Amino acid sequence: MTLPLTVELLALPKEVAEVRRMVEGDDVRLCVSELLTNVIRHVGEGTPVTVRVVAARGGRTRVAVTDPDPRVWPVLRDATDDAESGRGLALLDALAARWGVDQGPYGKTVWCELRAGRSGA
């Protein structure tokens, strides 16, 4: 994978698999999948998004997904053992050195940074 990687697409389940094939490293793939799936589930299928994977300070890898809805923010929850969802951000939180949300006038970007050597490559 050559960084930076920027892909504009519609948030559809089939696109999650396509973007996963474009990136290297299990942790990067997991983060891309979780962030895209959150857009599909909480903002809406077919939402236009931009996925970026870039090299960040200190050898970190930054994964970011931008969507046009500034109102729907991700919330870290404790999923019960029998819950069918709610673990995505907990996984992201466990893998990432840090993560957050940047709000802009026309949308938001949910991002995470993986520690150097943690990209799973």
The predicted pLDDT at position 85 comes to: 57
The predicted pLDDT at position 55 comes to: 93
Q: Which domains does the chain have, with CATH numbers?
A: 5-114 (3.30.565.10)
DSSP assignment of the chain, as one string? -PSSEEEEEEE-HHHHHHHHHHS-SHHHHHHHHHHHHHIIIII-TTEEEEEEEEE-GGG-EEEEEEES-SS---------TT-SS--HHHHHHHH-SEEEEEEETTEEEEEEEEPTT-S--
Under 8 Å between Cβ of 10 and 49? yes
The predicted pLDDT at position 118 comes to: 59
pLDDT at position 79 over 50: yes
pLDDT, one tens digit per residue, over 50-71 is 999 999 999 999 999 999 998 8
